[in-house]
């Protein structure tokens, strides 16, 4: 099972998006787990869960470079959720972009 984890300031705004993404994955019988967490838990969650993909909320996209640097020696795809897709809570589009990131890794 692939793990796609979303991180934002508090983890609350991404929770709805993660739920929408999980519904899309379930509807298509995809072996994917989608969860949302607050950004200050990223190291703890990465160490414990080893996600396949880390997606940052658009409000914390300025942390992308630091996040990539922190996990550069790990086998994890890292990206930022598109602001428009995030605003529309478009679980399908965000899930597709996560799958694409994982395949590119």
Q: Where exactly are the structural domains of the chain?
A: 2-104
pLDDT at 20: 98
| Residues labelled catalytic | 8
pLDDT at 105: 85
Report the pLDDT averaged over residues 91-95: 98
Task: Provide the whole-model pTM.
Answer: 0.95
- CATH match of 2-104 with 3.40.50.2300: yes
Exposure of 60 in the CB half-sphere (CA atoms within 13 A) = 22
- DSSP H or E run through 55: strand 53-56
- DSSP H or E run through 79: strand 77-80
pLDDT at 100: 98
CA distance 100 to 78: 11
Task: Using the CB atoms, write b or e for 66-78: b if 16+ within 10 Å.
Answer: ebeeebeeeebbb
């Amino acid at each position: 099972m692939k793990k796609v984890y979303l991180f934002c300031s508090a983890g609350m705004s991404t929770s709805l998006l993660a739920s929408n993404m999980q519904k899309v994955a379930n509807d298509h019988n995809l072996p994917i787990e989608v969860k949302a967490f607050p950004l200050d838990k990223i190291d703890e969650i990465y160490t414990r869960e080893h996600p396949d993909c880390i997606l940052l909320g658009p409000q914390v996209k300025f942390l992308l470079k630091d996040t990539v640097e922190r996990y550069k020696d790990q086998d994890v795809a890292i990206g930022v959720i598109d602001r428009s897709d995030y605003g529309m809570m478009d679980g399908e589009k965000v899930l597709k972009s996560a799958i694409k990131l994982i395949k590119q890794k």
